[in-house]
Chain A
């Protein structure tokens, strides 16, 4: 057999194996093992940004500016809520716009979840239809018919949220949100993201972004850590303090409730 034929045979073999092999696992891409570091967590946003149609760079940049860990991320990871006491909510920006009569609340927190990252992410979906009702605020989310996914996320959902604010007079708002789930790195199941964005401004919400990054807990490989950044610009109805107080209470209660749900 000439050298040329040997070379041809050598190159032809993999294709034959691909076509005929009964052992399909042998040609699956190997797991992309990445160190469980904040650096790899932040680098994952690069892959998400590459495909996403959602707008959340400002929020991601708060914890991962230029795809590198911010001191805030380090702080959040170190203070992740484990279910004991109250979650630490880091207020990043609380601001009032007196011209447009809006209140902005931008906060961040982290939760330690006793589940691997994939189960944590799936838990995000299960948690969606969890309602909240503490005077003066009632929030009732539910799934609605999803829109087409053109490959801009792994999985996409439509969430329709009813928000009732009792500010002397009752304001009843329906807002529609996109909830999209992402793998942050190819062939890797240690880093994920779940991002919720407002599809169109509503009477109550002018902006509503919730970015959750999930990574396997380096201190506990069967667990994971969720880092959340949320930013809302809402109708203050010229009552900024009350608006901030009501939604801050919701955010703290929601963080605790999410942890409890994810810990079941």
Chain B
């Protein structure tokens, strides 16, 4: 006998009903005792288990389930990144501030530097956070709009240029990922300088609670960590979260460990500027794709 689960959405709450149901093959054997002269009804049991509705808010789900789903995928360790946006079950002030200052299509996107430090051996830790707000009914729609395709012509900001090309796209690759995208980054110009800065990453999207369409988490990690000349780490979290007004926030956290670069102020200015351009491009893309 196996447990099958039925799910119902009830006025915003989530009711999970677990029903014990027999497996089809076993049911036949158990239901009819062919050796008996008198066929008697087999006892049938239906146990209904009603679990408490998941009343957790989207941010709590993010902080409690996000680390679990990304960890279960065994792609990379994102615990440092979740620490930057979650403190236990609650989101950090940096997370809340990024949402509060989310780019909505006017003014300049605000990309905040969360971490910037360099060792005497020129190992630099740089973390950036920012968000956009767009008319998406559910943040889970974000991945379907193929946001990375927007970057193919290049991301340009001032005298910096970054090219991000989708190398492959695999739906439902397993390990909880809804979609796996392999990306090739080519940062050609950094604030007026020509640099050779390429990296290859994998971007996976997860639903922390499969039935909760108010929260989606994407985690990106470096694929060529052992051979990359300049990046020891290039992790990212992209958090889609439902806004109070029915729109959606998409929050981006980038966490880099850069090595072999002495011009770190340039990297900070470049990556901050380019991420601001990313915010603009994506926000425009999402607005253009939204159904009025």
Spell out A's residues near B (CB within 8 Å): 18-22, 24-25, 27-29, 31, 118, 121-122, 125, 143, 145-158, 183, 187, 189, 192
Contacts and interface: CB of A to CB of B under 8 A. Distances in A.
| Range, interface on chain B | 20 to 34
A122 B77 contact: no
A29 B80 CA distance: 21
B188 interface: yes
A218 to B, nearest CB: 18
Contacts of B226: 18
18 contacts: A19-B76, A19-B77, A22-B77, A22-B80, A24-B232, A28-B121, A31-B121, A118-B122, A118-B262, A122-B262, A125-B263, A145-B159, A147-B194, A154-B195, A155-B193, A155-B263, A183-B262, A189-B122
Given A18-B225, A149-B196, A157-B193, A28 B123 contact: yes
Contacts of A146: 189, 192-194
Given A20-B77, A156-B193, 4 more contacts: A18-B225, A24-B233, A25-B119, A189-B122
Contacts of B193: 125, 146, 155-157
A24 B192 contact: no
B270 to A, nearest CB: 12
Given A18-B225, A121-B262, A122-B262, A151 B196 contact: yes
Contacts of A183: 260, 262
Contacts of B233: 24
Contacts of B192: 143, 146, 157
Contacts, number: 72
B79 interface: yes
Contacts of A156: 193-195
A112 to B, nearest CB: 20
A86 to B, nearest CB: 31
Top 3 closest pairs, chain A to chain B, by CB: A146-B194, A149-B194, A151-B196
B108 to A, nearest CB: 24
Contacts of A153: 196
B248 to A, nearest CB: 30
B90 interface: no
Contacts of A24: 232-233, 257
Nearest to B123: A28
A31 B259 CA distance: 11
A70 B256 CA distance: 42
A51 B260 CA distance: 16
A110 B192 CA distance: 28
Interface string B168-211: 00000000000000000000110011111000000000000000
A160 to B, nearest CB: 13
Interface string B246-273: 0000000000010111110000000000
